Chains A and B, each alone.
Chain A
């Protein structure tokens, strides 16, 4: 009798149309020596996202963060569960708008662009700053 070994493939990692081809055929009683070594394929989601429920993707616009490797139209991975610290790249809301900048807590709190052509954003009295989340990765397509 022959049995077909389908392998360790989780459904979420597959494209929507997937015809399960068999990785190998083995005779019952003689399991393939390779079967213990089969690994799941590299998954970019796993690499880039630690906390799926709190992670959102946003699209960067403009050149203000090129120094940090964020080019125009880059997709940013924003994790709302990571508490930002001094020098974290964050997405924040100021004056009802989303911005992505580097957070500086000293000497004076500000949002610092990473491009000499752009001035830092200081938080003035009466202005409201809300940190939405920490940027954990930028995906630039070429």
Chain B
């Protein structure tokens, strides 16, 4: 009985290296949208002391002086490479769960009994590396929580093969002893503080508390974690990815925005994109929130954060309805005299596209809800043409600063890697 967790090493940085053989052993960082913060670091960059999430401007000079290579995020490319890795993993076992863009669980129960799981892990690692160029770590253990612990152990021990099989009680105990409790899957910062206060600092100490007590003092979720740390299996492979509960589209602006006429089309762009995502998920929403905020880094300027939620009588995924709601939400929260740095749209309260709920009263907004029209617009926008709504500005994400993006190597004919 075992699960494997396959975890891509410094995924975004590794992707950037696939078509740049000259970047071998060179420190790489990848930045968030608008080049704000560091969101991925190669091993070399980690060694330089660049921490996760640090604002780019704080480390830029020292990083570049050491000949580090920096990239704006290229999610089109990372998404394609991720899909390839997941596709390969699905070929190994019948049941897998894609947990994030760079992690997947594999159910190893279906393998023959006499299979050596460590060798199997090494085989997966070699193959993924050869086929895609992405290095992966593989943690194998009796359940999901422990397979996460195994990955942490690989990182801690700096194990050269990057594959670890926690196969017996002693190995598991040893690994738990070295894992701080906040690294346990599902233990967040706040829970960590509570646990520390109760004298629980390592995963092993957590595993030694009786599950019943944990349930009484904390929650049933943490009880499950404790049971898994003790070797029981409480969580299975989740094949059906439950549909999203919330859609957020927000960006920091490249330049500060202080007037409403500039802000409106930007927010409209976010609304259009959010509605597209909503239709992609085959959902409708009945709540649209708009928010704006100034930059917390701009300490000597006046600060303002505003948010407004608009309730819709009838659930919708028609872009025009979302646009009307977005505008309604933006007007009351905008204040002149502030330099806004970020805005966003949040869609909430989803219901299935198919189910139709008629309201007892006539909806005063009369939702448009023309599914066919939306479908055609989506198809056209996926293709070459672009259909815009009047309230948008025609440069989709502008104003956005992102200067250091690598080519779309695998998804654009004009940006293919070159060979001599």
Contacts and interface: CB of A to CB of B under 8 A. Distances in A.
Contact of B418 (A18, A53, A98, A130): A98
B77 to A, nearest CB: 12
A96 B21 contact: yes
Interface of A: 15-18, 51-54, 56-62, 64, 75-76, 80-81, 91, 93, 96-100, 130, 132
B420 A15 contact: no
Contacts of B87: 52-53
B334 to A, nearest CB: 37
A132 B419 CA distance: 11
Given A15-B383, A16-B379, A53-B87, A58 B419 contact: yes
Interface of B: 19, 21-24, 84-85, 87-88, 127, 130-133, 379-380, 382-383, 409-410, 413, 416-420
B84 A53 contact: yes
Contacts of A56: 409-410, 417
Given A96-B24, A130-B21, A80 B131 contact: yes
Given A54-B84, A93-B21, A130-B21, A100 B420 contact: yes
Q: Classify the interface of chain B: helix, strand, loop or mixed.
A: helix
A99 B19 CA distance: 12
B132 A98 contact: no
Contacts of B85: 53
A84 B21 CA distance: 19
Contacts of B131: 51, 53-54, 80-81
Contacts of B413: 75
A98 B21 contact: yes
Nearest to A54: B131
Nearest to A16: B383
Contact of B21 (A58, A97, A100): A97
Contacts of B133: 80, 132
Contact of B419 (A18, A51, A80, A91): A91
Nearest to B381: A16
B420 A99 contact: yes
Given A17-B379, A17-B383, A99 B130 contact: no
B413 to A, nearest CB: 8
A56 B213 CA distance: 54
Contacts of A93: 21
B132 A60 contact: no
B418 to A, nearest CB: 5
